[in-house]
């Protein structure tokens, strides 16, 4: 039921709240989860191609080796690492730690930097091998 006197909704919504780092990281965590679902379909496609025979596997490998394919794979790697870090953060919260406002905000601000650095490190190691 709407509050007739103030003509405002009873429940706040995204237009009311100012985005804060922890809220943004929560949204990004959900987005990376959805991206991982889509990326897992690509992983399954690659495995099916490997089981289908050399010509089809070579074509799929070529496609993933193009600059667009590599960009998608880089994004998948970042989503995987970022989602993993978010999962670790939630695990720490489940243990009852890290709820202090300033600490949670610092972790939320550091997460994108750490996830990008780890993604680049994984790719450097992967390309070096």
Residue-wise pLDDT tens digits, 33-59? 999 999 999 999 999 999 999 999 999
* Binding site residue list: 83
Structural domains present in the chain: 21-128 (1.20.1300.10)
> In this predicted model, what pLDDT tens digit does every residue of 56-115 receive, in sequence order?
999 999 999 999 999 999 999 999 999 999 999 999 999 999 889 999 999 999 999 999
Q: Is 5 helix (H, G, I), strand (E, B) or coil?
A: coil
Structure tokens at 81: 């690492």
- pTM more than 0.85: no
How far from each other are the two terminal CA atoms of the chain, in whole angstroms? 62
Please count the residues of the chain. Answer: 129
* Binding site residue list for heme: 83
How many CA atoms does the CB half-sphere of 28 hold within 13 Å?
22
User: What's the CA gap between 31 and 3, in Å, rounded?
Assistant: 33
């Amino acid at each position: 039921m709407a509050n007739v006197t103030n003509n405002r909704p009873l429940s706040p919504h995204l237009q009311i709240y100012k985005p804060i780092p922890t809220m943004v990281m929560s949204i990004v965590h959900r987005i990376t989860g959805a991206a991982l679902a889509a990326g897992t379909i690509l992983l399954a496609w690659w495995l099916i191609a490997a089981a289908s025979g050399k010509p089809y596997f070579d074509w799929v490998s070529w496609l993933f080796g193009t600059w667009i394919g590599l960009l998608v794979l880089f994004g998948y790697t970042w989503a995987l690492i970022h989602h993993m870090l978010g999962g670790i953060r939630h695990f720490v919260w489940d243990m009852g730690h890290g709820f202090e406002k300033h600490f949670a905000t610092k972790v939320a601000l550091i997460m994108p930097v750490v996830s990008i650095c780890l993604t680049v490190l994984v790719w450097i190691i992967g390309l070096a091998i």
